[in-house]
Amino acid sequence: MLQYLHMAAKDLETIVALCKRRGFLFPGSEIYGGFGGTWDYGPLGVELKRNIKEAWWNDMVHRRDDVVGLDAAIMMNPKVWEASGHVESFADPLVECKTCHERIRADQEDVIKLHEEGHRTNKEEVSWTAPRNFNLLVKAFVGVVEEAERPIYLRGEITQGVYVNFRNVVDSVHPKIPFGIAQVGKAFRNEITPGNFTFRSREFEQMELQYFVKPDEAEGKKWFAYWKQARMDWYVSLGMGKEHLRFREHAPDERAHYAKEAWDIEYHSPFGWKEFEGIHHRADWDLSRHQKFSGKDLTYTDQESGEQYTPWGIETSGGADRATLFFLLDAYDEEGGGDDRRVVLRLHPRIAPLKVAIFPLLANKPALIEKAQSIYKTLKHEFVTAWDARGNIGKRYRSQDEIGTPFCVTVDFDTLSDNTVTMRDRDTMKQERIKIDELVRYLHDRLS
Ligand code: GAP
């Protein structure tokens, strides 16, 4: 694996423009003027995000013996959210501008400052209402008669699906503590000020692990430290610059209502150090509350010792959309200038949306097209493969560099006589001749 130079994008606008132009991300419902805090993933964005989620699932579930997966419903009995404490405590402080009535999160000083500057520039007064708590749960109605139904909440965190299924998982697969339940899925929050592209959205995806341990201080400490480091190492293993990541501990008054201890992994983005993933010590908050509200036994019995207890949950909670954005920002690199300017997304091969592109050197030579097409069909069975026969070859390389395709294969006249192709590496731009028979193995070795 190459050691990448971690340049990272210097401004968010560059990435926003690239995402729109190349089909990574579009504003949600764009033809109707958009819908605040929602984003649609285009043909390349959906591949990148899927690859991130798949890499997470592989490393967190398939490659481990102590973690199983789950996919719970988004719509849940409203009692879940009373038990979890979200109806009462899942809120952000909100202030309203008395001049234009815009509502902003009271703790977002930079947004408030910008807003005040706008009014002052227009020689307008600016003052705010006192902060009040605004609940972030998104309400919905289910049933045929709206008024007759109790509102439900779209899940504000994917977590609760795991806790309400704790008994089901224990009774069906009999895991031995310590063990984890992993889940990936959508969550919804009525964010007061969504922004910074997908960073804070109203609909987003989370990748979470709830890891159950004995309710014991030493055990809790040990596994908390383990998961904190494991999650940081995971981002680095996928090529993210170490120097762009750091830990930050939550102060007691900052912690979510369920957390006994909380740390963030933060990313150094163009808009400052920002939360990337949270590691939370939830202790027995969730299981005890659901036990109390549902009246069901959610304890665990150790089959060997006969010990019975309510386990503690150590949580790792990352955002798939945030990861997609931060991987894009971190991978972005520009080289050269003028006609030699090269934009390259140095994405790790595991998450790159397209793995290989294949080009016939000239688009008007049937023999080259035919040969290239036959290789394309073989590669397409094995890898996500692009075909491009437009424009000069240099431009085609640049076009693939900009979307992070690790390898390009060119079929030229020599191919017709010696059955070799040119393999070009995105990062080094080095080219080498490879036998067609060896292509699949060559790529497997480098992409896995
Ligand atoms: N179950 C714990 C939990 O939900 P959180 O810190 O509120 O904890 C965890 O969220 C992660 O979910 C965040 O670190 C972030 O990656 C992602 N996330 C949270 N709110 C988000 C939003 N409005 N837009 C995009 N991602 C968000």
Same domain, 197 and 294: yes
> What are all long-range contacts of 432-440, with beta carbons under 8 Å and residues at least 24 apart?
434/409, 436/375, 439/375, 439/378, 439/379, 439/409, 440/378, 440/379, 440/382
Instruction: Tell me the CA–centroid distance for residue 196 and ligand 1, in Å.
Output: 14
Structure token pair of residue 88: 């009462």
One domain, residues 263 and 199: yes
98 belongs to a structural domain: yes
Give the binding-site residues of ligand 1, using a 6 Å CB cut-off: 157, 159, 189, 191, 200-201, 204, 206, 208, 275, 277-278, 315, 317-319, 321-322
Instruction: Please classify residue 296 by burial: count the beta carbons closer than 10 Å to its beta carbon, then call 0-12 exposed, 13-18 middle and 19+ buried.
Output: exposed
Tokens of 350: 């595991």
Indicate the top mutation candidate among 153, 206, 261 to test ligand 1's pocket, ranked by most ligand atoms within 8 A of CB.
206
Residue 113 inside a domain? The answer is yes
**Same structural domain, 51 and 110:** no
Same domain, 263 and 406: no
Nearest 5°: the CA angle 163, 166, 170 is 165
Look at the chain and report how many structural domains it folds into.
3
Q: Judge if 69 and 200 occupy the same domain.
A: yes
Same domain, 273 and 397: no
Q: What distance in angstroms lies between residue 185's CA and the mean position of ligand 1's atoms?
A: 12
Distance of alpha carbon 21 from alpha carbon 28, whole angstroms: 15
Question: Is 206 inside any structural domain?
Answer: yes
Q: Is residue 359 part of a domain?
A: yes
The verdict on 217 and 276 lying in the same domain is: yes
Is 335 within the bounds of a domain?
Answer: no
Which residue's CA lies nearest to atom 7 of ligand 1? Answer: 157
Whether 318 contacts 206, CB under 8 Å = yes
Q: What does the pLDDT look like over 129-156, one tens digit per residue?
A: 999 999 999 999 887 655 656 789 999 9
pLDDT value for 10: 73
- Specify the CATH number for the domain of residue 201: 3.30.930.10
* Whether 283 and 403 share a structural domain: no
The two tokens of residue 153 are 């909440």
pLDDT in tens, 255-264: 999 999 999 9
What per-residue confidence (pLDDT) applies to 8?
Answer: 62
Domain presence at residue 31:
yes
Whole-model pTM: value is 0.94
Q: Mean pLDDT, the chain, as a whole number?
A: 95
CA 308–ligand 1 middle distance (angstroms): 33
Residue 101 lies in a domain: yes
Q: Please, what sign has the CA dihedral across residues 368, 369, 370, 374? A: positive
Q: Is residue 362 part of a domain?
A: yes
What CATH number corresponds to the domain at position 387? Answer: 3.40.50.800
Range of 128's domain? 92-132
pLDDT tens track for 68-116: 999 999 999 999 999 999 999 999 999 999 999 999 999 888 889 999 9
Dump pLDDT digits (tens) for 28-62: 999 999 999 999 999 999 999 999 999 999 999 99
Sheet strand arrangement including 103-105: 103-105, 91-96, 132-135
Q: What is the spatial distance between Cα 287 and Cα 83, in angstroms, rounded to a whole number?
A: 10
pLDDT tens across 333-355, in order? Answer: 999 988 889 999 999 999 999 99
Ligand 1 center from residue 352 Cα (angstroms):
24
Say if residue 187 is in the same domain as residue 295. Answer: yes
Ligand 1, atom 20, lies closest to the CA of 200
Question: What are 189-245's pLDDT values in tens digits?
Answer: 999 999 999 999 999 999 999 999 999 999 999 999 999 999 999 999 999 999 999
212, 101: one domain: no
pLDDT at 340: 87
- Quick one: 318 and 361 in the same domain? no
- Residues 67 and 102 grouped into a single domain: no
